[in-house]
Chains A and B, each alone.
Chain A
Amino acid sequence: MPTLIFSAGTIELRGIARGDPRVPSLFAWDERTACFRAPAIAYVEIVYALRARGLDVDDCARAYDAIDAHPVVRRMPRPYQEEAVHAWQKHRGRGVVVLPTGAGKTHVAVMAIEAKKRSALVLAPTLDLVRQWYDLLRTTFGVRVGVIGGGDYEVLPLTVTTYDSAYLHIEHLGARFGLLVFDECHHLPGKTYQLAARLSLAPYRLGLTATLERADGLHHELDALIGPVVYRKEIGELSGDYLAEYETIRLEVELTDEERAEHDRERTLYLDFVAKNGIHLGSPQGFSTFIARSARSPEGRRAMRGYRRQRELAFAASAKLVYVENLLDLHRGEPTIIFTQDNATAYRLARRLFLPIITHQTRVTERSEILAGLASGTYGAIVTSKVLNEGVDVREASVAIVLSGSGSVREHVQRLGRVLRKKDGKRAFLYELVTAKTAEAGTSDRRREHDAYR
C-alpha cells in the first residue's frame, strides 16, 4: 500500500509509480529520492484529495494525538471571545483573530485547544511570552507543558516555543502537532519564520494579534500560512467595557546647552554628507542609500557616527532622565513600565535610578522575579528596551513611559497595550518623552498615526 511519510517539513508519498494518474497534483516527483513529495502545509488538502480519488494510503505522516483537553480552571468567556472561536471553527479551524492587547487573546487560544482536542504547539516571539503561555496552559489544563527554547527542550502534547526555536526544530517536529497557535502572528510572515508554518502539517491553525498590518504588506501571506482573518475588534470597540480607560500624554524636553551644541554639530556633519552625496532621505530608499554610501569612505563613516550620536543624544537627553523621576513620583504606587529604544539607555537609567531592568540579556528566572515584583508592589517601576513590547501580561501595570522608541505604529500600540488590562477603577497613562528640536519629534508623529492616539 502506498505510504505517506513526513520528512523534514515535506510529505513523501512512497510505494506508487511515477506517472500514476491517481496521485494528486499537490505532489511533485522527486528524482533525488525516487518518490513523490509535497510541502507539509498541504497535508490536509492531500488527505482530502487522496480520499476523493479513492487512493488508500498508509498515513505514517501524521504523528500527533488527540488529547484530553479539559480546563481544570474554567473562566467564563467574554461575548467577543466566544464569537471569535465560533468564527474560527466555521473556517475549519484555520484563521486569524485580531483583538486589542488586554482583550484576552490567550483565552481564545485556550478555547480553541479545548474545542479541537489535538496536541498543540504555541509559538510566541519572546521568551517572556513563552514563560507566560507555559504558566497559563499548565494551570488551565492541569497538565505538564513542554517548552522548546531558552535552553529547554521538552516536547509534550502541549508545548510552547519561540518563533526562533520553531524555525530551528520544525523539520522534526512538524508532524507532532495537530494545532498550531501563532501568538503575535504578525511576526510569522518574515522570510525565515514563515517556514515554521510551511514545514508543519498541522491541519488546525490559529493566529492571534493586536496589530495585524505590517509596513511591508507581508501580512497578506497569513492567509496561506494560517488562514484568513476570521474575527476582528479594535481598541475603540472594547475600551471602557473590557479595557482600562487610558490617556496618552506627549511631553517635550530640551537638551542642555552642551548636549545641544554636540547634537547640532554631529547632525550637521551627517546632513552635510547626505546633501553632498545627493541623497534624498525622504525617498523610500533614502536611508539605505546613506548606509551604503557611508561605508565607502572615511568621511562617510564619520557621518554615520555623527548620525548615531545625534540620535543617541535625542533618545537619552539628560532632561528625560530627570523627568522620569518626576513621573515616578507623580505615579507613586502605580506600577510603571519604562520603555527605551536601545539597551544602552535602558542600562543607563537602571544604573542611575536603581530600577530593575529586563532586556534580551536577562535570564528567564530573573525576568519572572522582576515581573512578579512589579505585580506585588516590591518594585514600583521597571525599565526595559524592546523585549516587553509585546504580549507580556502585567495586569497591575497602569503607567507606561516611552523614553524613546522607533517610528513604528505597531510598537507604540503594543507598548500602550501593556497598561490596558482592565482592573477595578484602573486608569492607564502612556507618557511619551520627546526631545524638542530634534528628529525625534517627527519619529513620535509617525508612531502616533493610529486610532488609539486620536
Chain B
Amino acid sequence: MLTADLADVRRKNGELFMRVLDACACAQLIELAEQYLAAARAHVGYRREELYAAWDTIGHDAKHPRRAAALRKMVDDACVFEAEGTVDPVRIRRTVFTLASKLRSARDRTSPLDRQEILACAASELGMTSDAVEHALFADLRGEHLLMAAPVSNAESIACDYELAQAQAILLRAVRVTCEVRAASPGLFRAFFARLKFHKLLFSVERMQPKGFRLIVDGPFSMFDSVSRYGVRFALLLPALCALDAWSLTADVRWGKSREPFVFRLSSDDITKHGVDDGCSIHLSDDVRALLDELRAANTHFAAEPATALLDVPGLGVCIPDLVLRDERGGPPVHVEVLGFWSRDAVFRRIELAERGLGARIVFAVCARLRVSAELLDGTSSSALYVYKGKMSARALLAHVERVALSHGIE
C-alpha cells in the first residue's frame, strides 16, 4: 500500500482532489511503470541498493516525481528480495569486530589500524577469503538483500492499480467515511459488511430512495476525537466498496503536516473497475442458487429472485437477505436469509433483530447442525426459523414463507 505522502493530490476550497490522469498521462504512467519493471528485470540477482540506484536515475528524470515515487513503491512491493543465505553475517561481524578491538588495544599508538591484517585473521578463523569476509560483513542489511524475482505483473496492470492505490493512500488520513451504496447485489453487500465487521469499524445505516443505503463509518473512539487511527482500515475497506455496483464516498481527511481538515470524495465513476465480477446472481452461494432454482421450478404463487434489500435495526445490526419471494396475489414480500451451519451465535443475533423489529417479513434458514429450535422465533409472527437437515427443501421453506406472508403485522 502507498503511504499518504505518495498521494498525488491538489487542494481547493477545503477539498482534496486526486489528480485525474488523461489519456496522455496514462500512457506516460504505463511507460514509466515499464521503465521501473525493466530495471527490476535487469537487476535480478543484484543487491537492493543497486536496483534502487538504477531507479533513482529514472525518478530524477521523471516529469512528475511524486507519481514516479508512487509507481516505484508499487513495483518495489511486488519485487521479491532475500538475504544471501550461504553466509552468517552476525558470526562474521562478531569475529571481525572482536579481532579489531584486540588489535586496536594491542597496537602501537603511532601505527594505523591494519584492516588487511584483521580481515586476513578473520578469514582464516572463518575458513573464507578476506574479500569474502569483507563482502559478507553486512550481507543481512536490507540494502544488501538480493533481488530474487522481478514482478510478474505488467506495466498496464500496475498503472491500472495506480488510481485505487492513490485513493487508499488518501484514506489513510481519513477520520470518518460516509458511503452511499446503490442497487448492490446481496452477496457483494454481505462481503462489504463482513469487511466492516472484520476491521471492527462501527457504522450507522440509513435508507436512501429509491434503492440504496447511506453508511457513516468510523470507529468507537471517533465520538470523542477525530483520529486517523482507523485510516488503514478505511483504506483496506476500499476494494470491498469498489466491488459493489455503484457507490460514492465522502471522507473527512486530516491532511498534511498540520493535519488540516479536508473533504475527499470518490465514486465508482472515478475508479476503473477491473478484476471484479459485478453480476448479481453469481454472488449467490451454491446452496442458495440451488434453492432459487428449485423455488423457480416449484408450482407456487411466490416468485423468487435474489434480494437487494438490507434490513437494519439501529444499534443492533444489519441483516442482508439472500432471496426475496413476492406473492403474485399481492401482499408484502417475504425475505429469506440462509444462515447455513457456520455460526450459532449469528442465529441468536438474527432472533434478537427479528424480535426488535426488522420492518420486514423474513424466514431464516438454519442447518439443524447448529442445534437451534424453530420454536425460538414463535414469539414473532412476521419471521420464522426454518431448520433443515442436510439440504434445503423449497417445499418446506415455502410452508414457512406462506405462514409469514399471511401474518397480520410486522414487529
Contact = CB atoms under 8 A, between A and B. Distances in A.
A288 B112 CA distance: 44
A379 interface: yes
A325 B142 contact: no
Nearest to B93: A356
A28 B223 CA distance: 8
A322 B122 CA distance: 23
Nearest to A291: B257
Contact of B315 (A10, A32, A191, A328): A32
A288 B257 CA distance: 10
A378 interface: yes
Top 8 A-B residue pairs of the complex, sorted by shortest distance between their CB atoms: A34-B315, A354-B100, A8-B220, A10-B220, A356-B97, A32-B202, A39-B224, A32-B204
Interface residues of A, number: 44
A11 B42 CA distance: 56
Given A8-B219, A32-B202, A351-B137, 12 more contacts: A8-B221, A28-B223, A34-B316, A35-B315, A38-B224, A39-B225, A198-B221, A198-B225, A347-B138, A354-B99, A363-B90, A373-B97
Interface of B: 60, 65-66, 90, 93-94, 96-101, 104-105, 109, 112-113, 115, 118, 137-138, 141-142, 200, 202-204, 219-221, 223-225, 227, 229, 257, 259, 314-316
Given A31-B204, A301-B65, A361-B142, A328 B101 contact: no
Most-contacted residue by chain A among B93, B105, B221, B316 (CB, 10 A): B221
A210 to B, nearest CB: 27
Contacts of A325: 112-113
B199 to A, nearest CB: 11
B101 A329 contact: no
A332 B113 CA distance: 14
A328 B104 contact: yes
Interface in A174-210: 191-192, 195, 198-199
B224 A31 contact: no
A333 interface: yes
A38 B316 CA distance: 19
Contact of B105 (A38, A39, A333): A333
Chain A contact residues: helix, strand, loop or mixed: mixed
Nearest to A10: B220
B109 A369 contact: no
A323 to B, nearest CB: 13
A295 interface: yes
Contacts of B118: 354
A380 interface: yes
A405 interface: no
A33 B221 contact: no
Contacts of A65: none
Given A295-B65, A361-B141, A354 B97 contact: yes
A93 interface: no
Contacts of B141: 347, 361
A37 B94 contact: no
